[in-house]
Chain A
């Protein structure tokens, strides 16, 4: 069978992914695939209790195990000044516990042995004596008098408060609420859940004592930021640390923080002189690494004459035992202050109190731009609650209150400037795809037959692509990203980026950006990411920063190279640079298009022997650092249709319609894939995923038998639509999309469940995850919040 080779893909469009051939052959390079000569294996001993003083640790028997090479405790690390490390929120976190354990699953000791089974055998031989303390499990009572102080390692601390933070104008909000003719209040919880990428976290550390060079292969979404943390922790210069992220089996925010296991692997390698691999198991991943959400919220919404006028929110944020969120320093509650959503309000105000509890540290953004998910959930639940109160159709209420296209750039009441949007268009498209009126008719018919069907809407606006250096940093590091582009003599190019793919397909998308700008085939552009020795500095991929920040850097560096190419082409064509015009792939003389030089010809000339125009450097390469002038504001309209079994209260998502506007789409195939995946995670969060705790602080979500993740059975075939409203300030008009579906889908699902049960069962609130037992309780009139 002869196949005709398709023409090479240039520019944007649904191009197949460049990374796929190695993955479908099982040739991915994940950290656990790495095997180095003499490599040892590490394993962590973890606390069985949530809060206890460590009385003693006896490692004699473990150290005597014939295959054990090293046993490390907090006391050993203290001697090296490594017992504590900074978190991404500038708190400190114990690497190995010295004084107390503060959550179940906390790292207490680390064993290095010849193989992974022996390392775990040896953990059983370590004797730790604990003096148990009462555990602080409920964030709502963490600040009560008499509650044990969790962070007594911090001098002068007398309670469990981490921060109080507010946004918006409280007095103005009060005025608007006083003038309103209807006020609705709801308590709701965005429960603790976990990104749970299919690959757990891990590292292989190799310390070369002769050269003083540390190489760390590790699961990180932010290789450069991690390198800086290690430099700060270990006192090694950054150029002596190389971080290689390889292929990553999903991240979703879980692989942003630095974990104690990574540091212990490094220490293990320093002590033994051998490479040390540490890969956590699933229980360790779910019980100890970055969880997400855990926001207890009280929202109030008010309206006058059917127009939404104000929104007020109080939040208690549970950050666990160490404040290990990874968000811009100035914003301890992330971008939660986007909670006024897509509506043109008169006033909005939020107050967030962060507290310590005896639970795993984190508060990472699980497929989310720094608490945008919690914000979108809050406002979209509140708008539906208002619709119930006003007995208005929830779609109508939204359409009536949207920010209108001509109001952009729109200054929100909490300090954002939304870049662009056409909300009504997206909403109407979603309603059209769904057949909204027909669905309402079907619902009425079914109701008459005693069947339970619900239609839920959510309309979200995100703020992504952090961020402008005047406003945003993490650990003092500007949230900018670099790009290096080098075009070789034969017209093949290498792009180095500071973003790091965890499955998003950076090798394809970023090649397409360069291809669009220079006219080189995407196949001729290699994208390097995840190796700090081969890429420029930048903060990495999370918070939907990829396309908004790194994508912009990529487009701009390509444009710089294109301008250099213009000068060289001008010399070749004996024309003035200003007399040349660009057409994708070549510079030509204005008015004489035959007179032209392709980018490949120019690349060869740039490296060639002939003279270059005066003042033009040879070669064809450049670098760029992008500092975004503003964030971008993707939005979308989601409609969910659920059926609920009246006998078992099981919720089945029958249809899910998602219209996303992420501005210009580079590779629509990849964009749709991102949306599919995020919607599935949204269904998981809304219906299944929960990290719960008992009163002693025992984690009840420590395995995939307890922490339930959607399979092919729980999710429907997705129905997608798109509108395109380019970002006016982004070099290619793109806004970012990876997280929109996870942000937008949970409120649509919960709204659908309430919609199904309100008329027949009087249900007007329910908390996630909406498991059959929880829905059943709500149907009986006694909905209980999660623990």
Chain B
């Protein structure tokens, strides 16, 4: 079947089997390999993307179900050379090591900041609770999200 989605603002189509998972569609058919996968049971969150702005485990959704929706992946976070503050925060605060969980973590963080620009430590912990990082022990991910929140707050004030 033909599946068409808007991904990172661009309309993309591919011919896939009806059973194709969204994560495989994104990686294998659209060649956007920044979205990872790490489990068979929807536990790890390495595959998190935003569907219409909400974090979704893309291994838990069929490509067909995503047809016609807006998808954001890690490849769409930066604006050219300009990184999203969440991306910058992960670099500044050593929020990543192997980088495998990182795209999913950053997208969950992006969605959190979009609805709550000033999240507390506990709110950040809850927002990423469905995702596993095997490397960082989470503290620096939380600091990274706080860094992004603080940075966005300053840029907004400066811009106003």
Q: How far is the CA of A117 from the CA of B18 in the complex (A)?
A: 12
A676 touches B139 (CB 8 A): yes
Residue with the highest number of chain A CB atoms closer than 10 Å, among B41, B78, B83: B41
Chain A residues within an 8 Å CB radius of B31? 35
Q: How far is the CA of A371 from the CA of B44 in the complex (A)?
A: 28
Chain A residues within an 8 Å CB radius of B15? none
Among A12-20, A84-92, A257-265, A373-381, the stretch that binds chain B is: A12-20
B135 touches A26 (CB 8 A): no
Partner of A25, one of B17, B27, B75: B75
| Known contacts A282-B40, A712-B128; A17 and B94 CB within 8 A of each other | yes
Q: How far is the CA of A675 from the CA of B97 in the complex (A)?
A: 12
Asked whether any CB of chain B lies closer than 8 Å to the CB of A705, the reply is yes
Partner of A196, one of B28, B130, B134: B134
Q: How far is the CA of A24 from the CA of B88 in the complex (A)?
A: 8
Asked whether any CB of chain A lies closer than 8 Å to the CB of B103, the reply is yes
A33 touches B33 (CB 8 A): yes
A717 touches B139 (CB 8 A): yes
One digit per residue, 1 when the CB lies within 8 angstroms of any chain B CB and 0 when it does not, for chain A 536-566 equals 0000000000000000000000000000000
- B111 to chain A: closest CB distance in Å? 15
**Identity of the chain A residue whose Cβ is nearest the Cβ of B101 in the assembled complex:** A198
One digit per residue, 1 when the CB lies within 8 angstroms of any chain B CB and 0 when it does not, for chain A 688-715 equals 0000000000000001110001011101
Q: How far is the CA of A675 from the CA of B139 in the complex (A)?
A: 11
B87 touches A24 (CB 8 A): yes
Asked whether any CB of chain A lies closer than 8 Å to the CB of B32, the reply is yes
Residue with the highest number of chain B CB atoms closer than 10 Å, among A247, A248, A282, A676: A676
Asked whether any CB of chain B lies closer than 8 Å to the CB of A502, the reply is yes
Asked whether any CB of chain A lies closer than 8 Å to the CB of B68, the reply is no
Q: How far is the CA of A688 from the CA of B21 in the complex (A)?
A: 30
Asked whether any CB of chain A lies closer than 8 Å to the CB of B34, the reply is yes
B139 touches A16 (CB 8 A): no
B39 touches A703 (CB 8 A): yes
A676 touches B36 (CB 8 A): no
Asked whether any CB of chain B lies closer than 8 Å to the CB of A752, the reply is no
B38 touches A198 (CB 8 A): yes
One digit per residue, 1 when the CB lies within 8 angstroms of any chain A CB and 0 when it does not, for chain B 118-140 equals 00010011101111111111111
Partner of B131, one of A20, A503, A711: A711
Q: How far is the CA of A250 from the CA of B44 in the complex (A)?
A: 14
Partner of A673, one of B91, B106, B136: B136
| Known contacts A17-B94, A198-B44, A505-B97; A282 and B38 CB within 8 A of each other | yes
Partner of B129, one of A200, A673, A713: A713
Partner of B40, one of A117, A677, A703: A703
A23 touches B43 (CB 8 A): no
A26 touches B132 (CB 8 A): no
Chain A residues within an 8 Å CB radius of B73? 26
Total CB contacts across the A-B interface at under 8 A: 177
Chain A residues within an 8 Å CB radius of B36? 30, 32, 198-199, 249
B94 touches A198 (CB 8 A): no
Asked whether any CB of chain B lies closer than 8 Å to the CB of A670, the reply is yes
**Identity of the chain B residue whose Cβ is nearest the Cβ of A675 in the assembled complex:** B137
Asked whether any CB of chain A lies closer than 8 Å to the CB of B58, the reply is no
Chain A residues within an 8 Å CB radius of B54? none
- How many residues of B are in contact with the other chain, CB < 8 A? 61
Asked whether any CB of chain B lies closer than 8 Å to the CB of A1, the reply is yes
Asked whether any CB of chain B lies closer than 8 Å to the CB of A577, the reply is no
- How many residues of A are in contact with the other chain, CB < 8 A? 57
**Identity of the chain B residue whose Cβ is nearest the Cβ of A717 in the assembled complex:** B139
A24 touches B102 (CB 8 A): yes
Chain B residues within an 8 Å CB radius of A678? 137
Chain A residues within an 8 Å CB radius of B7? none
Chain A residues within an 8 Å CB radius of B38? 198-200, 249, 282
Q: How far is the CA of A59 from the CA of B142 in the complex (A)?
A: 51
A25 touches B98 (CB 8 A): no
Chain A residues within an 8 Å CB radius of B103? 26
Asked whether any CB of chain B lies closer than 8 Å to the CB of A416, the reply is no
Q: How far is the CA of A593 from the CA of B83 in the complex (A)?
A: 44
How would you classify the secondary structure of chain B's contact residues: helix, strand, loop or mixed?
loop
| Known contacts A25-B87, A711-B131; A677 and B142 CB within 8 A of each other | no
- A584 to chain B: closest CB distance in Å? 25
Chain A residues within an 8 Å CB radius of B27? 32-33
One digit per residue, 1 when the CB lies within 8 angstroms of any chain B CB and 0 when it does not, for chain A 264-281 equals 000000000000000001
User: Which residues of B, 6-57, contact A by the 8 Å Cβ criterion?
Assistant: 17, 19-20, 24, 27-28, 31-36, 38-41, 43-44, 46
Asked whether any CB of chain A lies closer than 8 Å to the CB of B152, the reply is no
Asked whether any CB of chain A lies closer than 8 Å to the CB of B158, the reply is yes
Partner of B34, one of A25, A117, A282, A715: A25
Chain A residues within an 8 Å CB radius of B44? 198, 282, 704
Q: How far is the CA of A19 from the CA of B102 in the complex (A)?
A: 13
A282 touches B41 (CB 8 A): yes
**Identity of the chain A residue whose Cβ is nearest the Cβ of B73 in the assembled complex:** A26
Asked whether any CB of chain B lies closer than 8 Å to the CB of A718, the reply is yes
| Known contacts A25-B34, A718-B139; A711 and B130 CB within 8 A of each other | yes
Chain A residues within an 8 Å CB radius of B121? 717
Asked whether any CB of chain B lies closer than 8 Å to the CB of A292, the reply is no
Q: How far is the CA of A21 from the CA of B34 in the complex (A)?
A: 13
Partner of A117, one of B19, B99, B132: B19
Q: How far is the CA of A250 from the CA of B137 in the complex (A)?
A: 13
Partner of A21, one of B39, B91, B97: B91
Chain B residues within an 8 Å CB radius of A27? 34
Asked whether any CB of chain B lies closer than 8 Å to the CB of A764, the reply is no
- B150 to chain A: closest CB distance in Å? 15
| Known contacts A21-B91, A200-B38, A717-B121; A1 and B75 CB within 8 A of each other | no
User: Which residues of A, 404-439, contact B by the 8 Å Cβ criterion?
Assistant: none
Asked whether any CB of chain B lies closer than 8 Å to the CB of A633, the reply is no
Partner of A676, one of B78, B102, B137: B137
**Identity of the chain B residue whose Cβ is nearest the Cβ of A251 in the assembled complex:** B98
Asked whether any CB of chain B lies closer than 8 Å to the CB of A681, the reply is yes
Partner of B134, one of A25, A670, A709, A712: A709
Asked whether any CB of chain A lies closer than 8 Å to the CB of B92, the reply is yes
A23 touches B102 (CB 8 A): yes
User: Which residues of A, 474-523, contact B by the 8 Å Cβ criterion?
Assistant: 502-505
Q: How far is the CA of A27 from the CA of B87 in the complex (A)?
A: 13
- B102 to chain A: closest CB distance in Å? 6
Partner of B94, one of A670, A681, A715: A670
A712 touches B129 (CB 8 A): yes
Asked whether any CB of chain B lies closer than 8 Å to the CB of A283, the reply is yes
B141 touches A712 (CB 8 A): yes
Q: How far is the CA of A503 from the CA of B137 in the complex (A)?
A: 13
- A487 to chain B: closest CB distance in Å? 27
Q: How far is the CA of A25 from the CA of B102 in the complex (A)?
A: 9
Q: How far is the CA of A476 from the CA of B22 in the complex (A)?
A: 47
A504 touches B87 (CB 8 A): no
Q: How far is the CA of A579 from the CA of B153 in the complex (A)?
A: 57
B98 touches A715 (CB 8 A): no
Chain A residues within an 8 Å CB radius of B98? 197-199, 247-250, 502-503
**Identity of the chain B residue whose Cβ is nearest the Cβ of A22 in the assembled complex:** B99
| Known contacts A198-B38, A712-B128; A26 and B140 CB within 8 A of each other | no
| Known contacts A24-B90, A24-B91; A677 and B134 CB within 8 A of each other | yes
Q: How far is the CA of A26 from the CA of B73 in the complex (A)?
A: 9
Q: How far is the CA of A33 from the CA of B23 in the complex (A)?
A: 12
B97 touches A711 (CB 8 A): no
Chain B residues within an 8 Å CB radius of A200? 38
Asked whether any CB of chain A lies closer than 8 Å to the CB of B74, the reply is yes
Chain B residues within an 8 Å CB radius of A250? 97-98, 100, 134-135
Chain A residues within an 8 Å CB radius of B28? 35, 116
Interchain Cβ contacts under 8 Å between A and B, 6 examples: A25-B87, A503-B135, A673-B136, A680-B137, A704-B44, A717-B121
Q: Give the 3 A-B residue pairs with the shortest CB-CB distance, closest first.
A: A26-B34, A503-B98, A249-B100
Supplied contacts A26-B73, A32-B36, A505-B97, 10 more A-B pairs, CB within 8 Å: A1-B158, A25-B77, A26-B74, A32-B27, A35-B31, A249-B100, A283-B40, A703-B39, A709-B134, A712-B142
